[in-house]
Structure formats: structure tokens, C-alpha cells
Amino acid sequence: MENLHVNTLYVKFFEVDHDENFGDFPISKTSLRYFGEATLTIVPTVYIKNEVFKNTNKKRMDTLADNINFLINKYVKDNFGRANPVTEFQMDCDWTLSTKDNYFYFLKKLKQISKKEISCTLRLYPYKYPEKMGIPPVDKATLMCYNLINPLGDHSKNSILDVNELGLYLNKKRKYPVHLDIALPTYSWMQVYQNNKFSKVIYNNDKEILKSLKEIKPMWYEVTKDQVVDDFYLRIGDKIKYENLSTEKINKAIEVIKKNVVFDPETTITLFHLDEEQLSKYSNEELSGFYTTFSK
């Protein structure tokens, strides 16, 4: 982070799910504690499942905004201290046409309660079709240029980032009505199939697992040796779809983005995500290049 002059971290504080009996409740709470320089900007991020905004009402949305604001502030105080004041909250939700109105109402309410700058993630579909999907009532949005394809849908394409698929959404120069930041992927994963049925996603130990795989076609491998990975048993004959991203592919995606998305001098470029093992697949020069290419 120091070498790349990173000055902002988007940190997922927790997620929000919904249950008929319990209502809306937080899950996957972070245990992160930060001991670095106070000059680093921390942006608390909350992932909210789309189900939260189905069959709801304004009273429940008011409560949700109040609870999220309270829990974020509690986490900031407990884990980051007062030396690093937070000025922005980011909400992450794959809203749909049917949940749009409730989600947008919630965003307005959160802004009113928190008195913070509110940003949200923006998938490529609502970016391309704002007249249909609406413009989120936020100060700025982060365009998520990855996860374009259903991971279990097209077995021949890289579901994390397919440049041709990206080009279908970013196919002409557009100026979005809200300030846009950009998020790019720098991660990989392995989808495990046992008896031709999807079983699990493995996010780490790529190098170790690859030693016991043989390639059967592009992105697809077969397990040649039984082994245990994170308490999961890989058996001989299991199939693995290994989706990773080369520097070349990410740079091609950047060219598509630069050609079709209008930015301004304040646009932030985010790499997802901050993980030592995943980032070790790229040199500092390559990572730095992902940032600087946007300004060329």
C-alpha cells in the first residue's frame, strides 16, 4: 500500500440479511482492527442482500437506516479510534427493478440520519439502462467492472472478467448523472465440481492446488491427487474451473473503460481486493500500472 501510494481503503464492516422471524439483521461482521497512519481514509462498506428490500415498508427502512448508521459508528469507534474520522459510507446492493424504490428510499434516509457522504456500488446493467433502473440518490457511485456472468452459467467464459462481455455494457461514451469511481478485480477462485455438480468455491492456496491438477481444456482442470484444502476433501477425478486474471486482460478491460466511461480528476480507481496471496500474483509495477493507465 505504501509503495503504490494507496490512500483509501473500502472496508466491509458487515452484511445485512433478512429472515421472516428475525427481520433484518447483520451477519459476517468484520474483526478488523486498524493500527496504521491516521492519514489513510477508511470508507465503511455494508453489503445488503436484495431480499432486505422486498416486501418491506418505510417504517422498516427507517429502522434499517438507523441501525446501520449506529453499527457503523460503533465499529469505527471500537476498531479504528477517533484519530480517523469517517466521512463516507458505501452501500453495496444488487438492487432490481422491484426493489429499486425501497432501496433508493433507504439511501436517502441513511444520508439524512448519518450526515455523511453516501456512495453505492453500481453494476453494469443499471449503469447502461439508467432510464429503466433509475439513478441511485447518492453522492457518488462505484462502477463494478467484474462479475459480469453467472459463475455457474457459461462454463466457457471467465465469470470474473470477460472483456467481450464488458464491451457489451460499455459500448459507447456515456456520462452518468452521478460521479463515478471504478472498481477492477485482482482476485481468482476455483470452482470445484464433484460428479459434475458444483460443490464449492476455493479462494486461496491456488499455487499448492495447481500442483495436483492437470489441464483438460482452457480454465478447466482435473484433480490427480486426493488432498484436503480448508477442511474440504478434493478427490481424484474432481473437476475444477480455475478463473484468474492476467495483467494483460485487466489492461484490456481498462482500455474499454477509458474509451466509454466519462471520469473526472476526482475519480477513484479501486482494486478488489486487499489480500496478500491474491495480490502476490502481480508485481508492484503491474499493480501501479492499473492505477496510472487511467490518467494516460
User: What pLDDT does residue 223 have?
Assistant: 96
CATH of domain 8-187+243-295: 3.20.20
Quote the pLDDT of residue 38: 67
pLDDT confidence of residue 193: 96
Burial, 91: exposed, middle or buried (Cβ in 10 Å; 0-12, 13-18, 19+)? buried
Residues of the chain with pLDDT under 50: none
> Would you call 208 helix, strand, or coil by DSSP?
helix
Question: What are the grid coordinates assigned to 258, written together?
Answer: 477509458
* pLDDT at residue 230, as a whole number: 80
Beta-ladder partners of 220: 217, 241
Report helix, strand or coil for 291. Answer: helix
Question: How far apart, in whole angstroms, are the C-alpha atoms of residue 230 and residue 234?
Answer: 10
Q: What is the DSSP letter of 77?
A: I
Residue 201, beta-bridge partner list: 191
Per-domain residue ranges for the chain? Answer: 8-187+243-295, 193-239
- At residue 2, the pLDDT reads 85
DSSP 3-state of 60: helix
Say what the pLDDT of residue 213 is: 95
